[in-house]
């Protein structure tokens, strides 16, 4: 695959995966209006107990961002368990103002045939057959599962329906797993129903190390993430060549605006891959990884090495 100039890709800010105080969130998105992102995904996707912001608050944030020229998408929860979760999903799906990212098949069902939607990263789109089905139902963009490699993405794009946009998780701690159990509550010897909302104390997740001191994962309530920060900043030419239309950058508590600016420069071709990676490193909460992109364990860092022929 020939690396091409990455110039034509759009940037998207993924949904905020952590639980931050209301004022912090509002300030974050006020700043975001000035960042060079094309699309902003909004909403609580991880835990239904997090209620610093209600749907109406997210819509208000979205309206401000839309006025600033951003495409706004509301994301549904990655795990729907209860009737209350279903009601929330339907409120998001039928919000009337913004396009919706569906993160489970109940949401796809709610959105099917009612305009266009984004097929989120938790829908398990691993092949063109599944993508064709979602496109038939109204999906106009899909977000690849984080563990799908460059070659896997390229193959889905090659065989997939024409015209659908491909979005790739390009920066951030990887959302690897979700559970009914809250691991942050468990760490605090609390049950999920009485969790005291402790994940608000960990704006980038709660670090989990191995017994020989390797930074391995972070606990983010019911979600488990990689400790390392997945970054494709040195691989944007390849990303474009694989068929990527949109790069997803995941919010972190510090330096998100600078990360966005750096990706914007790198995506325009103004920054060499190695230089972009070097300048990104001090803005990251942990070391970089990009193994999934190369078809290797996700934890591995291959870096800016050239693609195999």
Partner 1 sequence: MDQAVAPPAQAVRRMKLVCPAGTPPALKIAVDNGADDVYLGFKDETNARNFAGLNFDDKSLREGIDYAHRHGSQVLVALNTYPQPSTWRKWQAAVDRAADLGVDAIIVADAGLLAYAAKTHPGLRLHLSVQGSATSHEAINFYHERFGIKRAVLPRVLSVEQAEKAIPRTPVEIEVFGFGSLSIMVEGRCALSSYATGESPNTHGGCSPAKAIRWQQSPRGLESRLGGVLIDRFGEQDHPGYPTLCRGRFVVNGDTYYPFEEPTSLNTLELLPRLQAMGVAAIKIEGRQRSPVYVETVTRVWREALDDCAREPQRFRVKPAWQEALAGISEGHQCTLGAYHRPWK
Q: Does 224 bind partner 1 (CB under 8 A)?
A: yes
Choice between 84 and 272, CB closer to partner 1: 84
Q: Output the smallest distance, CB 167 to partner 1, in A.
A: 17
Beta-carbon neighbour count of residue 203 at 10 Å? 16
In degrees rounded to 5, what are phi and psi of residue 39?
-130, 140
Q: What whole-number distance in Å separates Cα of residue 289 and Cα of residue 292?
A: 8
21 Cβ contact partners less than 8 Å away, ≥ 6 residues apart: 52, 200
By CB under 8 A, the count of residues binding partner 1 is 70
Q: Are strands 215-220 and 206-209 parallel, antiparallel or unpaired?
A: antiparallel
Residue that the structure tokens 């057959």 belong to: 129
Q: Output the smallest distance, CB 289 to partner 1, in A.
A: 9
Indicate which single residue of 3, 55, 68, 105 sits in contact with partner 1 (rule: CB under 8 A). Answer: 105
Q: Does 180 bind partner 1 (CB under 8 A)?
A: yes
Indicate which single residue of 22, 34, 67, 181 sits in contact with partner 1 (rule: CB under 8 A). Answer: 181
Indicate which single residue of 138, 203, 257, 298 sits in contact with partner 1 (rule: CB under 8 A). Answer: 298
Q: What whole-number distance in Å separates Cα of residue 164 and Cα of residue 141?
A: 5
Q: Is 289 helix (H, G, I), strand (E, B) or coil?
A: strand
In degrees rounded to 5, what are phi and psi of residue 303?
75, -150
> What is the per-residue binding string for partner 1 in 116-135, x denoting contact by CB under 8 A?
------x-x-xxxxxxxxx-
Site for partner 1 in 275-294 (CB under 8 A): 291-292
Question: Residue 234 burial by CB count (10 A; 0-12/13-18/19+): exposed, middle or buried?
Answer: buried
Q: Does 110 bind partner 1 (CB under 8 A)?
A: yes
Indicate which single residue of 3, 55, 60, 176 sits in contact with partner 1 (rule: CB under 8 A). Answer: 176
- How far, CA to CA in Å, does 117 sit from each of 3, 99, 112, 182, 196? 30, 6, 8, 29, 34
Indicate which single residue of 15, 120, 152, 243 sits in contact with partner 1 (rule: CB under 8 A). Answer: 152
- The distance of Cα 295 from the centroid of its chain, to the nearest Å, equals 19
Choice between 184 and 256, CB closer to partner 1: 184
Q: What whole-number distance in Å separates Cα of residue 110 and Cα of residue 92?
A: 10
- Inter-residue contact 243 to 233 (CB < 8 Å): no
Choice between 237 and 291, CB closer to partner 1: 291
Contact range with partner 1 by CB under 8 A, out of 20-28, 35-43, 105-113, 246-254: 105-113
Q: Does 164 bind partner 1 (CB under 8 A)?
A: no
Q: Is 250 helix (H, G, I), strand (E, B) or coil?
A: coil
Q: Does 140 bind partner 1 (CB under 8 A)?
A: no
Site for partner 1 in 37-56 (CB under 8 A): none
Contact range with partner 1 by CB under 8 A, out of 25-33, 77-85, 242-250, 273-281: 77-85
Q: Output the smallest distance, CB 129 to partner 1, in A.
A: 3
Q: Output the smallest distance, CB 86 to partner 1, in A.
A: 6
User: Which helix (H) or strand (E) covers residue 288, if one does?
Assistant: strand 288-289
User: Which helix (H) or strand (E) covers residue 237, if one does?
Assistant: helix 236-241
Q: Dmax of the chain from CA atoms?
A: 54
Q: Does 63 bind partner 1 (CB under 8 A)?
A: no
Q: Which residues lie near partner 1 (CB under 8 A)? A: 78-83, 85-86, 104-106, 108-110, 122, 124, 126-134, 145-148, 151-152, 155-156, 158-159, 174, 176-183, 186-187, 191-193, 206-214, 216-217, 219, 224, 226, 291-292, 295-299
């Amino acid at each position: 695959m020939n690396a091409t100039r990455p110039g034509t890709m759009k940037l998207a800010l993924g949904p905020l995966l952590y639980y931050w105080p209301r004022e912090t969130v509002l300030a974050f998105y006020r700043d975001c209006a000035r960042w060079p992102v094309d699309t902003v995904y909004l909403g609580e996707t991880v835990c239904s107990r997090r209620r610093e912001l209600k749907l109406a608050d997210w819509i208000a944030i979205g309206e401000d961002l839309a006025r600033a020229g951003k495409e706004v998408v509301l994301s549904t929860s990655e795990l729907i368990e209860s009737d209350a979760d279903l009601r929330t999903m339907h409120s998001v799906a039928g919000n009337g103002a913004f396009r919706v990212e569906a993160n489970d098949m109940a949401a796809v069902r709610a959105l099917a045939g009612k305009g266009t939607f984004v097929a989120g990263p938790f829908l398990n789109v691993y092949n063109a057959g599944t993508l064709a089905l979602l496109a038939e139902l109204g999906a106009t963009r899909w977000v690849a599962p984080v563990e799908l490699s460059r070659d896997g993405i390229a193959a889905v794009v090659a065989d997939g329906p024409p015209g659908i946009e491909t979005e790739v998780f390009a920066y951030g701690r990887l959302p690897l797993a979700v559970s009914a159990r809250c691991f942050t509550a468990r760490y605090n010897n609390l049950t999920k129903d009485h969790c005291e909302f402790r994940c608000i104390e960990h704006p980038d997740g709660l670090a989990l190390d191995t017994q020989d001191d390797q930074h391995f994962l972070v606990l983010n309530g019911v979600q488990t993430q990689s400790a390392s920060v997945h970054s494709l900043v040195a691989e944007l030419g390849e990303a474009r060549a694989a068929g990527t239309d949109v790069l997803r950058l995941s919010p972190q508590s510090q330096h998100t605006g600078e990360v966005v600016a750096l990706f914007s420069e790198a995506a325009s071709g103004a920054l060499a891959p190695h230089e972009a990676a070097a300048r990104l490193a001090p803005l990251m909460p942990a070391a970089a990884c990009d193994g999934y992109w190369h078809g290797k364990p996700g934890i591995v860092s291959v870096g800016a090495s050239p693609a195999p022929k």
